[in-house]
Amino acid sequence: MKVKMAGSHFALLLLVANVCLALEDGTFTKTLRMPDATPEHSDALLCHAVKMEDDPTYIVEYEPHVSAEIAHHMMLYGCEEPGSTHEMWNCEETRGGGRVCADGEAQDTRQVVYAWALDAPAFNMPEDVGFRVGGRTRIKYIVLQLHYKNKLPAGDTDSSGVTLHVQRKQPEFQAGFYVLGTWGAVPPHVNDYHMETACEYTDSSPMYPIAYRTHSHSLGVVTSGYRIRNNQWTEIGRMSPQRPQMFYNATTPGMSVLSGDFLAARCTMTSHRDTVTKIGATNADEMCNFYIMYYTGRTDDLTVQWCFQQNYHWKEHFYGIPDKASSLDGIPVSDDDVMDHHVHSHE
């Protein structure tokens, strides 16, 4: 893939791309945009890195500038060092491209900072919650990754991206991500096929889910997530991944996740295809992901937590599985539902 690169001028390009505007309330904005990207085939993955501040700062709002007509999804990843010193690079890791982060693809090295798809709107953190980046954290750089739908017409370029609203003052609570997902495949000609995962939460510090985001490709019907405590299931969220893949309010405000609880997710898939659809990166593949955005009173640097299983079945480990786990019954979708975030008293 040919993209515009200028490795020897990397520092200068970072200064140009790293657009910061101070606001009256003490926060500032930092806009990250693809530098005239030219994806040359469908499902291209291109990356662009921006250096964070030398002092720790806290993201309190994400404002996307991207269209579902252009991109399948957009991700922000945090790295100690980016996977390339070029202005922009091919980061199709599963198909021979470069890495997102220079230190490889181990799940404890690449941090989730933001995820977007299907024309999701801006997202605001609750009051007194922020996502820490920069300073002495492991997120020295943010890598903007675009998964493009198609090759652009001749002469067209893309500058999709996101504006981060950032503050220097340390908030009372720190935000983090817990990501549940599955490996495996979806058989041909199936209805209501379940891909399931669950892991025990072992951190001594409680976490409090703020919001959730579902992600599948074209076969996903419903994705749901739960906290299981003493075989009692409490819903974190349920949504169709065919709706805007934004962060929706957690279904149960103020719920806690304590050491010894389990976090579980299910993706319900329907396939009319004649062949097996494997989990993978392209739109012809599938994905089963359930993102939990949470806050915690921990003051140390957080890293993304992962729970991925293959050929895992809830019924072999738990009982009392909710009847609505594969249903959208009772799920409203409104501006208030997706934008009204608060720090609640805890359950």
The annotation places the binding site for Cu(2+) at 72-73, 147, 215, 217, 287
Distance (Å, rounded) from C-alpha 1 to C-alpha 198?
A: 38
Alpha-helical segments (H) within 2-159: 10-17
Distance (Å, rounded) from C-alpha 45 to C-alpha 92?
A: 5
- Catalytic annotation, pick one of 48, 86, 147, 194: 147
Does the annotation mark 317 as catalytic? no
Does the annotation mark 165 as catalytic? no
- Catalytic annotation, pick one of 48, 72, 165, 341: 72
- Catalytic annotation, pick one of 34, 217, 309, 341: 217
Tokens of residue 224, six digits: 């749901």
Does the annotation mark 86 as catalytic? no
Does the annotation mark 48 as catalytic? no
> Which of 69, 141, 147, 138 has the alpha carbon at shortest distance from 115?
147
Other Cβ atoms within 10 Å of 91 Cβ, number: 23
Q: Name the residue with tokens 């009372």.
A: 172
Does the annotation mark 41 as catalytic? no
CA angle 16, 19, 25 (to 5 degrees): 160
Across the strands, what pairs with 130?
Answer: 174
- The annotated binding site is made up of 72-73, 147, 215, 217, 287
CA distances (Å), 254 to each of 31, 37, 306, in order?
32, 42, 22
| DSSP classification of residue 250 | P
Letter for the amino acid at 49?
A: A
- Catalytic annotation, pick one of 75, 86, 145, 239: 145
Does the annotation mark 313 as catalytic? no
- Catalytic annotation, pick one of 287, 305, 309, 341: 287
Does the annotation mark 217 as catalytic? yes
Other Cβ atoms within 10 Å of 127 Cβ, number: 12
Q: Name the residue with tokens 């709107």.
A: 121
- Catalytic annotation, pick one of 73, 165, 194, 341: 73
Q: Any idea which residues carry the catalytic annotation?
A: 72-73, 145, 147, 215, 217, 287
